[in-house]
């Protein structure tokens, strides 16, 4: 087997594969990428048995064949060279040789593993798949990703609730302390799906969509407990989470009648200042509302305190709410709008937040649970 390939193009595809491979598995083969060289094209495949990635890269294939190698090692080799073209060849055994610069740079006798040991990669033909604008879909993923629970004990919350029915897309995520809810109308009213998409899948999907440009379409299909996403020449497949997502409708506050329009960028800067005094024992940010002003305060008895005052349009009774500053900061950081709306009822109410922007292609709500204020 032998082929010549553009170093930068191959390195770019391996960068996407890096997030999928299993780095600490008891099965060394899961740290590898399968490289197939046929018809002047490389097909790269990787999987951790739950999620997998397939991509293609043009190459001059001199002698067809395939091999599997540690993906990070292969990327490191490419990263140490600046030459445009690199030659890969496999000898009669299982050792790989790599050269560049007309033989001036050589990596010899690189150990590979048996192709027969590589896991079977599922296939999907994408007939009847749903087509989504990648820019829109990437934005939707960003709006729910940060609320997904990272607690492995909360298995059903380790992913995003994803439902499509009658042309309506619903995406919901929560870690029980906060919740993100997105709904959007789709053109396709026949496609139906209701599954829990793992957090890792959403992370890798966002990375790969981000490389294609907003005018690309993402194709979505489902078969035998797996989701398949296709964009350009890349395919991401993933098992879904086998669990029951809680009834999120009951967590949405319906009587929050105090509405505040706030500058998101200004509030983000304020919360960033509060993070300076953050500690495990001091995560409470207090927000005091009074006639014409809003005070944002975080006090740490050991490190100091931070207070900001903002002028607001409010002429009702004074009250105070408290939230985890990390959750507030995460919400503001992941939005791209200039202004947000904050809906409150009283000192003990959940905070309901919405994006204040015209012509949004979706309806979005974010909820943060309150913290108890003492003293």
231 plus 292 within the same structural domain: no
**123 in any annotated domain:** no
Q: How high is the pLDDT of residue 53?
A: 97
The arithmetic mean of pLDDT across residues 178-206, rounded, is: 96
Q: How high is the pLDDT of residue 48?
A: 94
Q: If pLDDT is split at 50, 70 and 90, which confidence band does 104 have?
A: confident
77 plus 134 within the same structural domain: no
88 plus 101 within the same structural domain: yes
Q: What is the average pLDDT value for the chain, to the nearest integer?
A: 94
- Of 186, 219, 249, the residue at which a domain comes to its end is 249
- Of 89, 117, 145, the residue at which a domain comes to its end is 117
Question: Phi-psi region for residue 225, left (φ > 0), alpha (ψ -120 to 50) or beta?
Answer: left
- For the ranges 1-10, 22-31, 205-214, 303-312, the lowest mean pLDDT is seen at 205-214
Number of domains composing the chain: 3
Entry pTM: 0.92
106 plus 186 within the same structural domain: no
pLDDT at 375 over 70: no
**125 in any annotated domain:** no
Q: Which domain holds residue 25?
A: 2-117
CATH of the domain at 346: 3.10.150.10
**375 in any annotated domain:** no
**6 in any annotated domain:** yes
Q: If pLDDT is split at 50, 70 and 90, which confidence band does 123 have?
A: very high
pLDDT at 213 over 70: no
Q: How high is the pLDDT of residue 279?
A: 82
**362 in any annotated domain:** yes
Q: How high is the pLDDT of residue 60?
A: 98
Question: Phi-psi region for residue 307, left (φ > 0), alpha (ψ -120 to 50) or beta?
Answer: beta
Q: How high is the pLDDT of residue 282?
A: 80
Q: If pLDDT is split at 50, 70 and 90, which confidence band does 302 have?
A: confident
- Of 249, 282, 311, the residue at which a domain comes to its end is 249
The arithmetic mean of pLDDT across residues 123-135, rounded, is: 94
Q: If pLDDT is split at 50, 70 and 90, which confidence band does 266 have?
A: very high
**374 in any annotated domain:** no
The arithmetic mean of pLDDT across residues 116-132, rounded, is: 95
Q: What is d(CA 182, CA 169) in angstroms, rounded to the nearest whole number?
A: 8
Cβ atoms of 75 and 15 closer than 8 Å: yes
């Amino acid at each position: 087997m032998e082929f010549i390939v553009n170093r930068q193009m191959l390195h770019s595809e391996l960068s996407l594969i890096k997030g999928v491979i299993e780095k600490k598995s008891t099965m060394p083969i899961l740290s590898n990428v399968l490289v197939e060289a046929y018809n002047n094209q490389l097909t790269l495949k990787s999987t951790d048995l739950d999620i997998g990635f397939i991509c293609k890269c043009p190459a001059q294939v001199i002698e067809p064949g395939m091999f599997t190698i540690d993906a990070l090692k292969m990327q490191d080799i490419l990263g140490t060279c600046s030459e445009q073209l690199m030659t890969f060849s496999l000898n009669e055994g299982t050792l790989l040789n790599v050269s560049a610069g007309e033989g001036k740079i050589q990596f010899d006798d690189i150990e590979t593993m048996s192709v027969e040991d590589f896991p079977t990669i599922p296939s999907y033909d994408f007939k009847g798949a749903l087509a989504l604008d990648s820019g829109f879909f990437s934005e939707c993923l960003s709006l729910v990703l940060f609320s997904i629970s990272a607690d492995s004990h909360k298995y059903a919350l380790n992913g995003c609730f994803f439902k499509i029915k009658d042309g309506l897309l619903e995406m919901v995520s929560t870690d029980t302390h906060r919740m993100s809810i997105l709904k959007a109308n789709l053109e396709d009213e026949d496609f139906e799906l209701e599954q829990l998409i793992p957090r890792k899948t959403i992370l890798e999907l966002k990375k790969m969509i981000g490389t294609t440009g907003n005018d690309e379409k993402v194709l979505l299909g489902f078969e035998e407990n797996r989701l398949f996403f296709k964009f350009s020449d890349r395919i991401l497949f993933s098992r879904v989470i086998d669990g029951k997502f809680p009834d999120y409708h009951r967590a949405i506050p319906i009587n929050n009648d105090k509405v505040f329009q706030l500058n998101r960028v200004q509030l983000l800067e304020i919360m960033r200042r509060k993070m300076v005094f953050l500690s495990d024992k001091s995560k409470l940010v207090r927000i005091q509302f009074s006639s014409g002003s809003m005070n944002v305060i975080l006090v740490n008895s050991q490190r100091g305190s931070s207070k900001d005052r903002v002028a607001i349009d409010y002429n009702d009774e004074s009250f105070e709410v408290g939230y985890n500053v990390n959750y507030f900061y995460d919400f503001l950081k992941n939005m791209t709008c200039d202004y947000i709306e904050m809906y409150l009822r009283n000192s003990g109410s959940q905070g309901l937040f919405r994006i204040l922007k015209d012509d949004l292609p979706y309806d979005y709500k974010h909820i943060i649970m309150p913290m108890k204020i003492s003293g």
